[in-house]
Amino acid sequence: MRQLSSLYLIIALLSSIVTAIETSKRVDVYAWPLSDQKAQLLAGIEYNSTTATIQSSHAPRISTNEKIVRVGFYQHGTGAWSGIATAAESFDLKKERVILLNLDSDAVVYHVGLRAFEKPQTQKGASQADLRAEVVPLHATPEVRLNKPIVLDATGQLEAPPEKTFLQKYWWAIGAFLLLQVFLSGGSDKKE
């Protein structure tokens, strides 16, 4: 028993070491107003498969008449833009923002999101804490549950349901007939 608990302790220690030395990666997230020609750096984020921290952040310059701002990143290797479009109001100083990093099974960012919400009344002004980053790991999708498979006979036709017996078909009529006989028989109380 003591050896078994020692083995559990060693396994727990090894798994925590592996998690601790997991290599961290970096992604630059950009804000790109529709009227601008190029994207502006919003945040440099360092992440692993479970956590993300903002290393640097910059307030994007968004004109007051701008309605929509793209938020995204350039994919490593291909250089293709991947991101979302959000309301320019999301960058208001009165709002707290969370950048969501969606990771695939290899812990590589495949999509980003932005969630903005009003700050609590206790916080006033803008600070570095107004921009956070969260990791959204890939979740296994639910498996499709189908009904039982269709069974065909040797000729390729659907199997016909088994034929019901006379009693299975007309049990209710037989029961009604018997009840009718009991109630209508009346009882002959003729005294002679």
Q: How many domains does the chain have?
A: 1
Residue 47 lies in a domain: yes
Pairing relationship of beta strands 109-118 and 68-74 according to DSSP bridges: unpaired
Domain assignment present for residue 192? The answer is no
Please, what's the largest Cα pairwise distance for the chain? 116
CA angle 63, 64, 70 (to 5 degrees): 55
Instruction: Give 101's strand partners.
Output: 112, 135
Does the residue 49 lie in any domain?
A: yes
Q: How far is the C-alpha of 128 from the C-alpha of 44, rounded, in Å? A: 13
Whether the model pTM is above 0.85:
no
d(CA 170, CA 166): 6
pLDDT in tens, the chain (192 residues): 667 677 677 776 666 666 556 688 999 999 999 988 999 999 999 998 889 999 999 888 888 899 999 999 999 888 899 999 999 999 888 889 999 999 988 889 999 999 998 877 765 555 545 799 999 988 877 777 777 777 888 888 888 888 999 999 999 999 999 999 998 887 666 665
Question: Does residue 64 belong to any structural domain of this protein?
Answer: yes
Q: Mark out the alpha helices in the chain (DSSP H runs).
A: 2-20, 166-184
Residue 142 lies in a domain: no
C-alpha 125/C-alpha 41 separation (Å) is 22
Residue 154 lies in a domain: no
**Does residue 161 lie in a domain region?**
no
* Torsional sign, CA 23, 55, 73, 103: positive
> For residue 153, is it within any domain?
no
Domain boundaries, position 113? 23-136
